């Protein structure tokens, strides 16, 4: 966080209101986008809003770096009565990540929508996109359990619609969106039930207030049931194995922009909330340890192994990437399940790395989709000759996914493995090694087709994507490379987040 300390990007009066502006900006932008006369105008609104959100997120991060943690009482009503935003290093990191991805996605949407979304839907699409952005940003900034539920629903309703818009390209998007709606609603219901249990036990919804009260309660079965509900509910949203059924259809069917945005932010925000509850709210004790050791870690390991295997046997590129996302969520949760500062730091670092690499991968697939209807691995044969820049960016993302040296993915795997070794969990190291090998197999298959196979005879010819698509694509893959050589920024953010969670810093 040290890097942000000297960062004053906005006047003090604006900085003081930045926490709410991060959320309110996209919400207002969503209205403006919905009212705009055409797709182009909506796109401009979307980009401007995303720039504003990122600006405010940086301002918040600077403030957090200086102050430690910010409490922002909404409407001036002090908690525990009023709703409060509470932003610490972890929240600020997540907000930065989401706002950056949001901006890249908005830039990218200028061209990408033209091939994937019906013309009359584009204004509403941009509006939905901004609603999602507001929801995810709110989710990571809020300090209130019920308010988190509200933001979860705000973002989810947006994403259901966005996934369904993919029907212009692939009719399977409609059942996928419905499927997602059912899954997501069940998840949200479970979450709100869990929050209800906690409220009944403690009489507060404010997370910071809840933690000491839960600690005072000791072993309480209502609280433990609450945790179970919350983790199960959020697990659906985070695509935690085996609750990931919705993700495949949603990622594969949605417009590529939505896949980018969901892969890089949606599951990440839910993981954030799980980590926040498990480490920040629930008291330390035998129950929590057993939960991490016997539930979370084995499920995460199963995700790594099983979903990677499924990815190997899958033919469609988008579905391979979707399976891979579930497996990668497993990697992140394995890091968190170590319950050490190093493990959490590795988990957060991996989370950022995965957001960047998956963003690049889905974006590259979208860039190909602009000119050609490629779906299976065979369809991508020889595409590197026709669209070399997009293919190169895809290759960088893929290298990072595999964990090739000099990419961020490598450092992420490195810190994960070394934290597992420090904690003495050799089996996790074994799982990670096997998972990496499996990743290599399915990624290698795609890359071999793209770079080393001749195009299928009679197939459509792809052409290079326009500059407007290449720029955000290169930002994602460029960051994957840059942070692979100099990881000071993400590593310091991850370390600060981990020490907040472990209670070593405010």
Where on the chain is the footprint of other proteins (CB under 8 A)? 402-406, 411, 414-415, 417-418, 421-422, 429, 433-434, 436-437, 440, 444, 452, 484-487, 491
CA distance 292 to 28: 40
ω into 102 cis (within 30 of 0): no
What does the alpha-carbon distance between residue 201 and residue 382 come to, in Å, rounded to a whole number? 60
d(CA 281, CA 283): 6
Question: Whole-angstrom Cα distance, residue 50 to residue 56?
Answer: 10
3-state secondary structure 82-126: CCEEEECHHHHHHHHHHHHHHHHHHHHHHHHHHHHCCHHHHHHHH
Q: How far is the CB of 406 from other proteins (least distance, A)?
A: 6
* SS3 state at 70: strand
Min CB(420)–other proteins separation in Å: 9
Cβ atoms of 150 and 93 within 8 Å: the answer is: no
* Least spacing, CB of residue 296 vs other proteins, in Å: 23
Pick the closer one to other proteins by CB: 230 or 443. Answer: 443
Closest to other proteins by CB, 221 or 422:
422
Q: How many CB atoms within 10 Å of residue 350?
A: 27
47 contacts: CB under 8 Å, gap ≥ 6:
103, 106, 107, 110
- Residue with smaller CB distance to other proteins, 65 or 443: 443
Angle at 199 (CA atoms; ends 197, 201), nearest 5 degrees: 70
Pairwise CA distance, residues 490 & 350, whole Å = 10
Q: Which residues contact 254 (CB under 8 A, 6 or more apart)?
A: 162, 163, 165, 166, 173, 176, 177, 262
95, 259, 340, 367 from 162: Cα distances, Å: 21, 10, 37, 18
Nearest-approach distance from CB 133 to other proteins, in angstroms: 31
Q: How far is the CB of 419 from other proteins (least distance, A)?
A: 9
Residue 232 or 429 with smaller CB distance to other proteins: 429
Q: Which is nearer to other proteins, 2 or 421 (CB)?
A: 421
Half-sphere exposure for 448 (CA within 13 Å, toward CB): 7
Q: Which lies closer to other proteins via its Cβ, residue 228 or residue 429? A: 429
| Shortest distance, position 190 Cβ to other proteins, whole Å | 37
Which residue number, 259 or 419, has a Cβ lying nearer to other proteins?
A: 419
Backbone angles phi, psi at 323, to 5 degrees: -60, -40
Closest distance of CB 433 from other proteins, Å: 5
Nearest CB to other proteins, comparing residues 366 and 484: 484
Nearer to other proteins, 240 or 351 (CB): 351
Instruction: State the minimum distance, in angstroms, from the CB of residue 405 to other proteins.
Output: 4
- The CB-of-484 to other proteins minimum distance in angstroms stands at 7
């Amino acid at each position: 966080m040290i890097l942000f300390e000297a960062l004053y990007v906005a006047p003090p009066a604006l900085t003081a209101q930045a926490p709410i502006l991060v959320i309110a900006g996209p919400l207002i932008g969503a209205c403006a986008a919905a009212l705009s006369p055409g797709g182009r105008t909506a796109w401009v609104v979307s980009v401007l809003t995303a720039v504003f959100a990122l600006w405010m997120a940086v301002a918040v991060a600077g403030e957090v770096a200086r102050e430690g943690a910010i409490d922002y009482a909404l409407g001036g009503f002090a908690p525990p009565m009023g709703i409060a935003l509470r932003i610490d290093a972890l929240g600020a990191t997540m907000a930065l990540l989401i706002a950056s991805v949001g901006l890249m996605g908005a830039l990218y949407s200028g061209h990408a929508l033209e091939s994937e979304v019906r013309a009359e839907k584009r204004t509403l699409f941009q509006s939905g996109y901004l609603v999602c952005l507001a929801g995810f940003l709110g989710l990571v900034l809020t300090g209130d359990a019920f308010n988190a539920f509200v933001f979860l629903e705000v973002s989810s309703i947006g994403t259901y619609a966005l996934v369904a818009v993919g029907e212009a390209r692939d009719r399977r998007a409609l059942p996928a969106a419905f499927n997602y709606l059912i899954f997501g609603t069940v998840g949200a219901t479970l979450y709100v039930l869990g929050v209800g249990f906690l409220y009944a036990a403690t009489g507060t919804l404010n997370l910071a207030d809840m933690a000491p009260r839960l600690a005072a309660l000791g072993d309480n079965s209502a609280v433990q049931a609450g945790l179970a509900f919350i983790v199960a509910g959020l697990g659906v949203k985070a695509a935690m194995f085996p609750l990931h059924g919705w993700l495949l259809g949603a990622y594969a069917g949605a417009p590529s922009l939505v896949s980018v945005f969901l892969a890089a932010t949606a599951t990440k925000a839910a993981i954030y909330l799980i980590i926040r509850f498990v480490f920040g709210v629930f008291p330390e004790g035998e129950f929590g340890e057993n939960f991490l050791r016997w539930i979370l870690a084995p499920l995460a390991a199963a995700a790594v192994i099983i979903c990677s295997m499924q990815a190997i046997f899958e033919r469609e590129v988008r579905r391979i990437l979707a399976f891979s996302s579930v497996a990668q969520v497993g990697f992140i949760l394995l890091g968190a399940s170590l319950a050490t500062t190093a493990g959490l730091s590795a988990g957060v670092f991996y989370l950022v790395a995965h957001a960047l690499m998956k963003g690049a991968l889905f974006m590259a697939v979208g860039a190909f989709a602009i000119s050609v209807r490629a779906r299976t691995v065979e369809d991508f044969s020889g595409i590197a000759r026709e669209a070399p820049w997009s293919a190169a960016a895809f290759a960088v993302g893929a290298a990072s996914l595999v964990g090739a040296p000099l990419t961020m993915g490598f450092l992420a795997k490195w810190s994960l493995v070394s934290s597992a070794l420090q904690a003495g969990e050799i089996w996790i190291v074994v799982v990670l090694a096997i998972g990496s090998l499996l990743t290599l197999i399915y990624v290698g298959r795609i890359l071999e087709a793209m770079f080393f196979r001749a195009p299928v005879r009679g197939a459509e010819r792809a052409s290079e994507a326009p500059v407007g698509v290449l720029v955000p694509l290169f930002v994602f893959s460029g960051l994957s490379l840059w942070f692979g050589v100099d990881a000071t920024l993400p590593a310091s953010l991850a370390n600060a987040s981990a020490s907040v969670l472990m209670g070593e810093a405010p």
